[in-house]
A and B are shown apart, each in its own frame.
Chain A
Amino acid sequence: MSEENAAKEPVEGFESPVNLKYSFAAGRATAKFLREIKQGRIVGQRSSITGKVIVPPRGSDPETGTATVEEVVLPDVGTVISFTICHLPIPNNPIMPPFIIANIVLDESDQTFIHLVSECNNEDIQIGTRLKAKWKDSSEWGLSMENIQYFVPLDEAPIDIEELKQKRLKETEKYRNA
């Protein structure tokens, strides 16, 4: 379309992005989690009813609705429960597609969270791949899960996630109604 014709086209709509600035009230459990991750520590919470460990903790156990108080310091090593290779760019993020977003369960915990996986060939990642966190330089740490830049695969064989689940469920039995 020429510029002259474009000028004659009726305007039927235009984009008007809205910016909303707000304060995030994290709540007691999440605030503690964020203060710990600012120090480079990942701290989850254990349900006193089911014995399972939840990270990031939200102050209650979604299975039973009970408050969670017991803290558990977790390693920054985990397993890919599933993943997608994303072919769309993330706005304002330097990472270029295709990149991997994985559902990760940390060792000694029971609930997945999502994070990036990098420093690998995308084809080498599979369900059960073992990972370790790659942290940003500590001078950049803030109240954010993004203190972990991404996860990188460990030089270990992938594990069977069904077996991992059964192993964890057995382990958590010890902590039930403690």
Chain B
Amino acid sequence: MAIQAAVVGVGQSERFRTRIKASIAGLVREAALNALEDAGCSWDDIDAVILGKAPDFFEGHLMPELYLAEALGCIGKPMLRVHTAGSVGGSTACVAASYVQSGQFERILTVTYEKQSESNAMWALSSKQPFNPHLNAGAGGFFAPIIREYMRRTKAPEDVGCKVAYKDRMHALKNPHAHVQEEPNLEEYLASPMLWEPLRFSEVCPSSDGACAMVISNEDLAKKSPNPPAWIAGTSMRSEPTMYPWREEVNPRAGNDCAKDVYKQAGITNPLKEIDMAEVYVPFSWYEPMWAENLFFAEEGEGWKLVLEGTTSRDEGGSCPWNVSGGVMSSNPIGASGMIRFAEAALQVRGMAEDRQVDGCKTALGHAFGGGAQFFATWIVKSDKP
């Protein structure tokens, strides 16, 4: 059996927002220092650093891991960069965990970031290629048709998306790190302008700067750490091509396979009942019901019912709240967004989520996706050692 690994430190930017004044080096160092403090250790205690961020051409820094080595205290130490587009924050956490589970390292610092204010994601995601017309529609333009097909298949009521956005931004009011901290108004959300029909402005994530870091250690070190550990009960990654003939885009197979694998590792047979809360990558509100089906929290075609029944809402006393942190809908430093999901899940099972703590949370899911909904990463963390 593999060595047990646990999250013993979590650090995030004080608050995700646009135009953070710190340099990128300052941004990652802040998150790393916060994680080290939580873990009660110093730079010298770290064996290796695993870094992740979205593609280099977002900010235009080629191989930023080299420039950031000094800020992350890893001169002379092993360092690895992970690349899986928007899912990278999740994949980076999975890779970091695997290096501890394999016995290669005893204690790892893992860090992810994005500085969207120094980048242009719309442009970066719409590079000009002669075999496609150049439409510069960005991620919203790519995902809106998939959401339209979901609505056609399921006949979900049109207000489901706005209800998810409202719920996530209500959650965000209790998270001091969240970018969007404005009391939401459902009527205004329903009347907000269309950007990429059927997607409204209110149903789209913000554009944020920020970083997230975790310290992951083996069992011996976890038992000695000052704060409770989050035991990693399973990690999984899956991917598929962006396009292939008759690709199932609404409910992608790679996401299904990733969920099945992580549940099997963690001994979960009924995710809705056995998982106390989930942090799921929802950059456009309609992805909550879509991923509820893809991750087997609901039958195919019925994910939207969980939203309307309030099952995923902490404020409505739902049995399985999703994105209690406010989720990607409230903060989106792209490269870090996946790791924030994984880290928030860890904080919940450690009982350290402060005002956003879900009472009695013992088992939590962290999830990320990226590219054309083709890269998936998940982990299950528990308060009790598996």
Contact = CB atoms under 8 A, between A and B. Distances in A.
A90 interface: yes
B133 A87 contact: no
B246 A82 contact: no
Contacts of A84: 137, 140-141, 144-145, 148, 196-199
B131 A30 contact: yes
A116 interface: yes
A88 B137 CA distance: 8
B19 interface: yes
A112 B243 contact: yes
Contacts of A18: 60
A177 B246 CA distance: 19
B196 A26 contact: no
Nearest to A95: B135
A145 B131 contact: yes
Interface residues of B, number: 35
A135 to B, nearest CB: 13
A110 B243 CA distance: 11
Contacts of B247: 111
A168 interface: yes
Nearest to B144: A84
Contact of B133 (A26, A62, A112, A146): A146
Interface in B331-368: none
B38 to A, nearest CB: 31
Dominant secondary structure at the B interface: loop
A146 B245 contact: no
A31 to B, nearest CB: 10
B243 A62 contact: yes
A83 B194 contact: no
Interface residues of A, number: 48
A12 B19 CA distance: 10
A26 B244 CA distance: 19
A102 B132 CA distance: 12
- Chain A CB within 10 A, most for which of B118, B130, B137: B130
Given A50-B245, A84-B196, A112-B243, A146 B134 contact: yes
Contacts of B133: 114-116, 145-146, 148
Given A84-B197, A88-B195, A56 B131 contact: yes
A89 to B, nearest CB: 9
Contact of B146 (A24, A56, A82, A169): A82
A27 B195 CA distance: 35
Interface string A29-60: 01001100000000000010010111010000
Interface string A68-92: 0000000000000111111110110
Interface in A94-133: 98, 101-103, 110-116, 127
Given A24-B129, A110-B246, A145-B133, A87 B196 contact: yes
B152 interface: yes
A144 B243 contact: no
Interface in B268-312: none
B103 interface: no
Given A82-B149, A84-B145, A24 B60 contact: no
Given A12-B21, A111-B244, A91 B136 contact: yes
B78 interface: no
Interface string B145-183: 110110010000000000000000000000000000000
Contacts of B245: 47, 50, 52-54, 63, 110-111
Q: Which 4 A-B pairs have the closest CB atoms?
A: A82-B145, A110-B245, A84-B144, A85-B197
Interface of B: 19, 21, 60, 117-118, 129-137, 140-141, 144-146, 148-149, 152, 193-199, 241, 243-247
Given A86-B135, A145-B133, 14 more contacts: A12-B21, A13-B117, A81-B149, A82-B146, A84-B141, A85-B196, A87-B195, A90-B134, A98-B197, A101-B137, A103-B145, A112-B243, A127-B149, A127-B152
